[in-house]
Amino acid sequence: MPPPCCHSNPISDPTSSLPFPLSVAWQNTETFDMWWPSSIFNTQPVLGSRVSDFVKRSAENGEQAAIIDALRFSRKLGIYYNVACFVFPIAVFVVRKTVASIKRQQRRRSKNKARSREDFKANEIEAPEVDSPSISTSSSSASSANNVVFDEPGIDESTSLLSKDSCFKIPWYILFYRRIQGYLGYQRPNDSRGRVMPTNGISIINAILSFGTIFLAIYRIFWPGFPTNNPNLRWFLCADRWGIIFAMNQPLNYLLAAKTSPIKFLTGWSYEQHLVFHMGVSAVSLYCGIFHFGGMYIVYRKFIAHTGQTFLSILARPEILMGLMSFTSFWIFGILSTDGFRAKSYELFLATHIIFAALANVFLYFHHPTARIYVVLSMAIWIVDRLIYRAYRKRWTAEASVTVLDESTVRVVIRDVGGSKRNSGSKELEKWKWEPASHVFLTVPGWSKIQAHPFTILSAPTGHDLDFLQAGRNGEEKEKEMVLVIRKLQGFTAGLFEMGNSQAKVKVVVDGPYGSDHARDTLKGCKKCVFIAGGSGIAVVWPLLSEMIRREVDKAKAGKKVRRRKIVLIWLVQYIQNLRWIHQELEELEAVRPVLPRELEVEVRKYVTRGSNGFRPDLGAEITNIVRGEDGETMRGKTGVVVCGPDGMVREVRSTGYDLLWKGDDVEIMAEKFGW
């Protein structure tokens, strides 16, 4: 903001220690134009002689250097902040890889010890055999499925009736760690307005971000010590600092929102976790804008109101108007990004988010030179993510068939028209490789070239699916296809539903796939894997389940040792016709029964919650029975739970995980949420 013009002899002026009262010369328009604090840095980003003149005029004797240092520090703060934001994910990456390496070594040692014990027992007694593998499938609206129990090798009538778990005492430090883990994953009930509360871990991170921002705003201004005894100048320094924090958060904001963010690779966070942090940083930035605006109003009241200038005339100044328009644009797309509005009108949310975000940064660029470097960095991140990587590497065109499954759901099948004609090194072939539980953005150019809606891929990728028997019998490569199950809402999805009534084929543009390997990596180390889906949440858990089964089958075929593992799918739907969504996939699961290794147990529990015989199971009891082996099953090991569904279901599963972890059970809850 512009400094006041310096008096020819400010030190000899009897009022030099205070900005007021001002002489008549100070009140003239030309001098006032140089006095308004917002123009202090309008000539150049670094501090110049005009700043020194302002400080000499307004500060107490001996405070000039301290105030200039505080202003310079505010400019350097943005550099320190962004360097820290860059170093943090790298540090997380190093720690994550180190911990993963240690865990792999521990698992390897445990396997070697277990193999040695089995070899020793094999020389003394003959372990009982299990005749056949088991897939237990139930479809119930009134009761849960019957469990299939495997005998533990080495257990006979001489074995104690008490399970190994009952005699196993958890070390205090492991119990402490699990309780901390459970507390961080606990999700509080909805507030009085029905808003979904985040987990304790996310709340703590948001609190750290908020208090850290407050610390940055007052550091070396109000604490520790004061650079000036003039309270008016401290208000100016603080308001200036809030504006800088607002600007320096923008590159981090764009980096968290990027689909191809390096933070995802370094930290292993899922895209949903990125969105949570993105929304947290956005909220802090918006409040920084409020404090910056309010602080500058206080500066106006203390420094300028006595000159007779109105606040509206100050807002009409070009550089101030640019800042006001940037602030307004940020708030508009912030309000339109709430969960409720996004669910009701995704098209409007997406359009306003992109347009107003771009406008806000353009206005911010012209508002203040200090903000320009952050605007340029933000735009560079956006260009690299959208125009280069996503446009040339992730966007591709295909043909899709749309079929109506029931009155509220359609099935979209995107097929590889080129098929096996492509060689294995073709770049086109890379587009048909995705991780289980990935998602794509779908565009129908015939309707709109700018509308792109996110949908999770139901089908498992080639090499991870359960249709390997059919492909092997035919002796040819299976046609590549990507299956999406889409619920009918409004706008885009309603149009797809109408198209499905005519059994139409349509040209689509696919942006993606995008995904995270966090759930897959976690499940690899689990002896019990529980997949819980509510409605269309089956699109997230089914590919993960398919991949796990396929991996165990491939191990058995290769002659590798298969560990005992239990896999349970719990799927809740509203109506019985919804079970047709994955009818083909369930048939494939039944078809692989003869080739399943005997160490693998797979169970499917389906529940219909509405209708004359509607029944909603107690998910907490279901999970507890699986984890703690209360059904008679004696397998001990870590349990991984993946849940995707409505907010109430996710919270119920998280609460159960909290209870189990607090008691010392080895459980990890991974929640995926449909929210964009």
487/347: higher pLDDT? 487
Nearest 5°: phi and psi at 412? -110, 125
Distance CA 627, CA 630 (A): 8
Q: Which residues contact 322 (CB under 8 A, 6 or more apart)?
A: 363, 364, 366, 367
Report pLDDT for 428.
53
Report pLDDT for 675.
52
Report pLDDT for 363.
93
Q: Would you say residue 61 has pLDDT above 90?
A: no
Quick one: pLDDT band at residue 349, thresholds 50, 70, 90?
A: confident
Q: Which residues contact 653 (CB under 8 A, 6 or more apart)?
A: 532, 619, 623, 641, 643, 669, 671
Mean pLDDT within 246-254: 89
Q: Strand, helix or coil at 611?
A: coil
Spans of all domains in the chain: 132-154+162-197+519-672, 198-391, 395-515
Task: Please identify which residue in the block is written with the tokens 């005997």.
Answer: 598
Distance CA 662, CA 669 (A): 13
Mean pLDDT within 370-395: 81
Residue 572's H or E segment, with its range, is strand 565-573
User: Mind giving me the DSSP string for 202-231?
Assistant: HHHHHHHHHHHHHHHHHBTTTBSS-S-S-H
Distance CA 141, CA 401 (A): 32
Q: Are 483 and 460 in contact (CB under 8 A)?
A: no
Mean pLDDT within 578-591: 86
Share of the chain above pLDDT 90, in %: 12
Q: Would you say residue 654 has pLDDT above 90?
A: yes
Question: Of 56-60, 337-341, 413-417, 439-443, where does mean pLDDT reach its minimum?
Answer: 56-60
Report pLDDT for 72.
77
Report pLDDT for 136.
52
Alpha helices, H only, 448-561: 468-474, 492-501, 518-524, 538-557
Relative orientation angle of helices 64-122 and 49-58, to the nearest 10 degrees: 110
Distance CA 202, CA 270 (A): 14
CATH topology of domain 395-515: Elongation Factor Tu (Ef-tu); domain 3 (2.40.30)
Q: Find out whether the peptide bond into 646 is cis, omega within 30 degrees of 0.
A: no
User: Mind giving me the DSSP string for 123-134?
Assistant: TTSPPPPP-S-E
- CATH 3.40.50 holds for 198-391: no
Distance CA 178, CA 181 (A): 5
Residue (of 496, 515, 507) closest to 394 by Cα position? 515
Strand partners, 505: 401
Mean pLDDT within 27-53: 39
Relative orientation angle of helices 619-628 and 647-662, to the nearest 10 degrees: 40
Query: pLDDT per residue over 406-443, tens digit each?
Result: 888 888 888 765 443 433 444 455 566 788 888 888 88
Distances (CA, A) of 401 to 285, 431, 503: 43, 18, 7
Distances (CA, A) of 46 to 40, 165, 229: 10, 66, 24
Nearest 5°: phi and psi at 406? -155, -165
Q: Are 37 and 299 in contact (CB under 8 A)?
A: yes
Q: Would you say residue 32 has pLDDT above 60?
A: no
Q: Would you say residue 483 has pLDDT above 50?
A: yes
For the record, the structure tokens of 49 come out as: 């002689």
Q: Are 570 and 622 in contact (CB under 8 A)?
A: yes
Report pLDDT for 196.
76
Quick one: pLDDT band at residue 17, thresholds 50, 70, 90?
A: very low
Mean pLDDT, the chain, whole residue set: 75
Task: Please identify which residue in the block is written with the tokens 């108007």.
Answer: 321
First to last CA, the chain: 38
Q: Would you say residue 454 has pLDDT above 70?
A: yes
User: Mind giving me the DSSP string for 485-510?
Assistant: EEE--STHHHHHHHHHHTT-EEEEEE
Query: pLDDT per residue over 296-323, tens digit each?
Result: 888 888 877 887 888 888 888 888 899 9
Architecture (CATH level 2) of domain 132-154+162-197+519-672: 3-Layer(aba) Sandwich (3.40)
Report pLDDT for 390.
67
Quick one: pLDDT band at residue 605, thresholds 50, 70, 90?
A: very high
Report pLDDT for 636.
72
Question: Of 242-256, 295-309, 492-506, 604-618, where does mean pLDDT reach its minimum?
Answer: 492-506
Mean pLDDT within 250-272: 78
